[in-house]
Structure formats: C-alpha cells, structure tokens
Amino acid sequence: MRVAKETILEQASLKASFFLRCLPMPLHIPVQFQFVVSLSFAMMLSSFLNRVLRSSRIFVLHFAMALSAGVFVVSNAAASDLSEQSGLASIDFVKGYATVFPRNDSSLAIFAKRGMEIGELDVIITGDDGFVSLSLAGGTVVSIQPDSRVFAEKLDCPEQASVCRVTLDAIQGSINANVDHDGGTEMQFRINTPYASAAVRGTVFDIDVNQGRLLAGVTEGRVDVSSEAGAVELPENFGTSVQQNQPPSPPKPLLSAPALIPGPPRYDSGGELQWNQVALASGYLVSLVNQDGLVYRTRSDETTHTMEPLEVGTHAAQIRAIDEEGFLGSVAQREFDIVRTRKSVPGPDINVTISESEFAVMVEQQPRIGDQVELHFSTSENFDLLSTIDVPLTEVVSSSRADNTIYVRARGVISNTDVTPFGPTIEIPRIQ
C-alpha cells in the first residue's frame, strides 16, 4: 500500500491540534529540525511540516500519543514497507477518528482514509466518533462502529478464486456485516471474538463485544455461533448472547422494525422523524446515511428524533428498536431529499374550485418551476401537521371537504435538490 508524503502531511495537519493536546513529551522530527511545540503553535507546526516535505527526501515524524497502543509513528520508510502489501480489502468510507495499525504493529499507525487498502494482520481502531466501512472481495461490506477494534486475521481471496476465506477478530466494539453470496464466489466468512466465533451462512448480522459479553443478531440469513462450551444456529431475526466460558444462549427473537409515520419527501435542512412504539423496546438506534455512508447515529429513548442539519442531497433514516439486553431489531428505513430553495424563482400560484362537498386544486403553469409541484395540505395555518403529494404541474387534485379548515400551499420541484419557494397559501373553509 502506498502512503504518499502528501497524505502524511494532510493527516498531520488535520490532527495536529488533537495530538498537541495529547503529547506527554516533546515532539521529535529529524535532528536538524528538532524543536518543542506548545499548544499555541499548532498552525506553525502545519506550516513547518509543509516546508520540511518540500526540502527533504527523508521525513520521519514521531508523535507520542495518549493511546493504549503506545508510540504513534508515521514515516516514509514505513510507507515503503506498506506499499508491498497486497491489500484484499479497502476502506470505502471513514468518518471521525479512526486509525490503521499495519500488520498489528502498535508503534506504527496511519489515519484511516477512503481508498486505503487493508491487508492481513492489519488492525482498525475507531474512536468514540469514528466509523469505518470496509469493502471485501465479492461485494461484502463490514461497518465498524465507534469505539471498536478489529483485527484482519485472514483475507484469502485470490482473483478468480472459487472460494474466498475471510476471518476478522472483533476484539471490542460493534460491527455490522453484509456478506454477499451472489458474486459467484463462495464466501467463507468468520468473526472471532473473545467469547465466541460466528460462522456466516447468511447475509446481514450484528456483533457487539462489550460489557463482558458477546451479542450476535441476524437480520437476514443464518449464522452459526460457537464457543468452547457449546454452539447454536441463529436463523433470521434471532440473536444470542455469550459470556466468557459459557455456551451461547438459546436463540432469542429480535424486535420488529418500527412502523415509520409518513413524512414529507424533502426537507430544507432537517426535520422530525416519528415512528410507532415497539413493544419491549428500551430505546431506538437512529442512523442517518447518504450515498457516501454514515452521516451520524444516535440513541433515542422516545419515538421521535429531530434531525441535525444535513447537506443537500438524498438521505435515508434508519430506525432500529433496542431491547433491554442491547439486541438491535430489524431496520425501518425512509428516504428523503434535503433541498435548497431558489429564491430567484417565484413560487407557484394555486387555483381552487370549491363546491358544497368537494374542492379541487390546480397549480397555474409558470416558467422555471419545473414540471412537478409539491402540494402541502394541513389543518394548521403554520403547517405543523401536514400531508404532502407530488403531482405533475397540469394535474388537478380533488378531495372531500372536511369539518376543519384546510390550508393548501405549493412549491415547484426543479430537481431532487432544488425547489422554488412556496407560493401563496389558500384557505378552504370547513363545511358549515
């Protein structure tokens, strides 16, 4: 694996202030450039490293880190060794703080980065805000959650091979695996933990190694979980727990997916997610993802979640119930778009025809608003509770009148990321 000088500089610049806070002793670089850096000189360090990289062929950077692994070292000599590895897996997404220890060398670490190859004996460690998505041969994806440590014991997947053998050691933390068996290659996938091993014959499952025990749950397919004291086969939507020197517990049904309450197809920056209570749930895991991977995840003890501000684009909310033991249930998912408003384009006008028992809504054709509109209907003037519908610009929408006053507004949908402002709100009186 090749680690360029530019990559080292980029990583050092991004984490300079973090390391400076952690340093228990002076920072060392080659003798001719040695100096002690204090907290107030983080930016000076970054500028200095730029000059060093431009003027020296040999660059060794030693960081004393407050990590259990010990001394943190990045060097171009190590980069040369790493380039000789034939990576059989790669990182396709990384978020937050995450490091890779090549060949389980606790004195050498590299910041995890998208596109980085992972070889046998490498260790991936995520911090409390870290997340790594690892792609293996044949389309298998392993998602390493925060506060986790995973060791790549075996990555035996030669090109054109009929069998791919992968063994990962989940030393601590949580991982989710989606094992792909549809690529024409037999996938022999195993995860070892301090308490038991999981041999995968299924597709999607979760492993959690924390608090002196293992939790394993299967949401698609089947997994065999075995310890020195016994074994159990987990069918779909079942889980098991294993403690030290104990057999796996009998299969336990996982909680069902929450029923999501429908919401609008697009938001300006974020909004509120709602779902129905799941029996026996002690809480819910809420994950927001986009096409690149995880945006953020959090736990909610309620059946609502107010989303953090999100970037423009398509996102998905994934909700899973958590039972009292910590098992994750099946996933409920809803996609939506975060859009930007083109204020230079006027919002569409609405024509409403009202009869004694019905009303009909039609949007007037206007240039530059696209050929589709988003209609909002609500019994509240500020549209706190609403129903939405996307319709072609020329379509007439009709409905029965209600006992309450109905408010209607519309905005043009220019693209999946661009909308017009809302036009005027129309009031449909309640039936007298």
Instruction: Say whether both 395 and 327 belong to one domain.
Output: no
- pLDDT given for residue 322 in this prediction: 98
Instruction: Say whether both 289 and 301 belong to one domain.
Output: yes
Q: What is the pLDDT of residues 102-133, one digit of tens each?
A: 998 888 889 999 999 999 999 999 999 999 99
List the 426-428 sheet strands across, edge first: 386-392, 372-378, 406-412, 426-428
**pLDDT over 90 for what percent of the chain?**
64
Instruction: Say whether both 367 and 380 belong to one domain.
Output: yes
Instruction: Say whether both 327 and 360 belong to one domain.
Output: no
Least confident of 1-5, 189-193, 383-387, 422-426: 1-5
Q: Which domain holds residue 423?
A: 341-428
Instruction: Say whether both 332 and 375 belong to one domain.
Output: no
User: Which of 338, 357, 378 corresponds to the end of one domain?
Assistant: 338
CA-wise closest residue to 176 among 278, 259, 93: 93
Confidence of residue 6 (pLDDT cuts 50, 70, 90): very low
- pLDDT given for residue 187 in this prediction: 85
Instruction: Say whether both 345 and 293 belong to one domain.
Output: no
For every residue of the chain, which 3-state class applies, written as one string? CCCCHHHHHHHHHHHHHHHHHHCCCCCECCHHHCCCCCHHHHHHHHHHHHHHHHHCCCCEEEEECCCCCCEEEEEHHHHHHHCCCCCCEEEEEEECCEEEEHHHCCCCCEECCCCCEECCCCEEEECCCCEEEEEEHHHCEEEECCCCEEEEEEEECCCCCCEEEEEEEEEEEEEEEECCCCCCCEEEEEEECCCCEEEECCCEEEEEEECCEEEEEEEECCEEEEECCEEEEECCCEEEEEECCCCCCCCEECCCCCCECCCCCEECCCCEEEECCCCCCCEEEEEEEECCEEEEEEEECCCEEECCCCCCEEEEEEEEEECCCCCEEEEEEEEEEECEECCCCCCCCEEEEECCCEEEEEECCCCCCCCEEEEEEECCCCCCCEEEEEEECCCCEEEECCCCCEEEEEEEECCCCEECCCCCCEEECCCC
Domain count, the chain: 3
Instruction: Say whether both 346 and 420 belong to one domain.
Output: yes
**pLDDT over 70 for what percent of the chain?**
79
Instruction: Say whether both 295 and 330 belong to one domain.
Output: yes
Residue predicted with more confidence, 216 or 82: 216
325 domain residue, yes or no: yes
Residue predicted with more confidence, 27 or 141: 141
d(CA 97, CA 111): 8
Q: Give mean pLDDT, residues 143-168.
A: 90
188 domain residue, yes or no: no
- pLDDT given for residue 164 in this prediction: 85
Q: What is the pLDDT of residues 306-319, one digit of tens each?
A: 999 999 999 999 99
Instruction: Say whether both 312 and 323 belong to one domain.
Output: yes
Among 132-146, 264-278, 356-370, which range has the highest average pLDDT?
264-278
d(CA 342, CA 364): 19
Q: Give mean pLDDT, residues 7-18.
A: 40
CATH code for the domain in which residue 346 is found: 2.60.40.10
205 domain residue, yes or no: no
At residue 75, does pLDDT exceed 80? no
At residue 38, does pLDDT exceed 80? no
Instruction: Say whether both 346 and 423 belong to one domain.
Output: yes
Q: Give mean pLDDT, residues 233-243.
A: 97
15 domain residue, yes or no: yes
110 domain residue, yes or no: no
Instruction: Say whether both 334 and 314 belong to one domain.
Output: yes
242 domain residue, yes or no: no
At residue 362, does pLDDT exceed 70? yes
158 domain residue, yes or no: no
At residue 49, does pLDDT exceed 70? no
At residue 20, does pLDDT exceed 90? no
User: Which of 322, 338, 354 corresponds to the end of one domain?
Assistant: 338
The owner of tokens 């037999």 is: 186
User: Which of 19, 45, 78 corresponds to the end of one domain?
Assistant: 78
At residue 284, does pLDDT exceed 50? yes
CA-wise closest residue to 113 among 130, 138, 128: 130
Q: Give mean pLDDT, residues 149-177.
A: 90
Instruction: Say whether both 15 and 71 belong to one domain.
Output: yes
261 domain residue, yes or no: no
